[in-house]
């Protein structure tokens, strides 16, 4: 099992520096986070999407410690034009001149991972169906630019709120956001308040909680906090323990109960 599977396109970047110098290079969250996560010792797989005639996914990761590349075909690639106005590159204008065909759940490899990181570039690269598919398999991480950064007709990018956030945030274990994105998501520029509000956005109704429990027990992911409870020797408080408790047997299928039992036994739980 991989520690992390990173899903996102390799971008074709045209960078124009403040002094007029130009460079063409590959980029994208999957590229930079793939190199970084593998370099610090994690077992990493990447799922880049694009046209292999324009960008070779295997060549992109040839010098990295990424264990496996699962390329997904798209007839188009994501192209970015970045114009920097200062030497520190803090002020810039970005144009998204072309995008990929959106990811679909069928693009996910069969091999499991503990964490699925969604590293899209703009809204539309990946949707709620992919979030649900990943959440059913393992812990899901989301770079929030993939749902907030919207492309205008002229290619300019604009941050807009995520209408489906209350539906999908409960499925996200790890949320990556900067200050500007957090303000759009929560409506406040106070970072601490935004963090607290982000937590409050996650609670769900009882029926949604049961749907999440079923997805968890049917997939590869352990329930939230399972490892922490195992370390503290309190697995009796886990979802898995509830699934094998006779009092709640009617709520779970035999397959779900068997999956829960396997996880508990592998973690050393004693009945």
Strands ordered across the beta sheet of 92-98: 22-27, 11-16, 78-84, 92-98
For residue 56, give every residue at least 6 positions away whose Cβ sits within 8 Å of its Cβ, in sequence order, or none.
Answer: none
Strands ordered across the beta sheet of 174-176: 68-69, 44-47, 2-7, 113-118, 139-143, 174-176
Tokens of 242: 């509830």
Q: Is the pLDDT of residue 213 over 90?
A: no
Q: Is the pLDDT of residue 196 over 90?
A: no
Report DSSP state, residue 9. Answer: P
> Per residue in 162-180, pLDDT tens?
999 988 988 888 888 888 8
Q: How far apart are CA 171 and CA 169, in angstroms?
A: 5
Of 182, 202, 203, 204, the residue nearest 193 (C-alpha)? 182
Question: Comparing 149 with 185, which gets the higher pLDDT?
Answer: 149
**How many residues are there in the chain?**
271
> Per residue in 32-53, pLDDT tens?
999 999 999 999 999 999 999 9
Q: What is the DSSP string of 154-219?
A: TSBEEE---TTHHHHGGG-SEEE--HHHHHHHHS-S-HHHHHHHHHHT----HHHHHHHHHHHHHS
Instruction: Tell me the average pLDDT across 64-92.
Output: 91
Q: Is the pLDDT of residue 78 over 60?
A: yes
Q: Note the pLDDT of residue 271.
A: 80
Q: Note the pLDDT of residue 92.
A: 79
Instruction: Tell me the average pLDDT across 3-27.
Output: 93
pTM for the full predicted model: 0.73
Answer whether 264's CB lies under 8 Å from 241's CB. Answer: yes
Average confidence score pLDDT of the chain: 89
Instruction: Give me the residue label for tokens 């959440």.
Output: 135
């Amino acid at each position: 099992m991989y520690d992390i599977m990173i899903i996102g396109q390799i971008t074709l970047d045209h960078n124009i520096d403040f002094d007029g110098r130009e460079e063409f290079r590959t980029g994208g969250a999957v590229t930079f986070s793939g190199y970084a996560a593998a370099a610090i010792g994690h077992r990493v797989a990447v799922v880049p999407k694009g046209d292999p005639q324009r960008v070779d996914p295997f060549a992109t990761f040839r010098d990295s410690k990424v264990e496996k590349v699962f390329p997904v075909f798209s007839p188009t690639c994501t192209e970015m034009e970045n114009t920097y106005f200062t030497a520190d590159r803090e002020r810039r204008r970005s144009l998204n001149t072309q995008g990929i065909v959106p990811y679909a759940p069928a693009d996910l490899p069969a091999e499991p991972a503990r964490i699925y990181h969604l590293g899209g570039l703009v809204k539309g690269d990946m949707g709620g169906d992919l979030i649900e598919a990943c959440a059913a398999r393992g812990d899901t991480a989301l770079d929030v630019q993939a749902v907030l950064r919207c492309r205008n007709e002229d290619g300019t990018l604009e941050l807009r709120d995520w209408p489906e956030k209350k539906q999908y945030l409960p499925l996200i274990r790890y949320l990556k956001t900067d200050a500007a994105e957090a303000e759009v998501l929560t409506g406040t520029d106070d970072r601490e308040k935004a963090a607290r509000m982000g937590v409050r956005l996650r609670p769900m109704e009882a029926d949604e909680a049961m749907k999440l429990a079923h997805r968890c027990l049917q997939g590869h992911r352990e329930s939230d906090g399972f490892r922490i409870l195992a370390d503290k020797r309190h697995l009796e408080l886990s979802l898995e323990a509830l699934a094998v408790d006779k009092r709640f047997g009617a709520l779970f299928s035999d397959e779900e109960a068997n999956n829960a039992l396997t996880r508990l036994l592998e973690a050393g739980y004693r009945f």
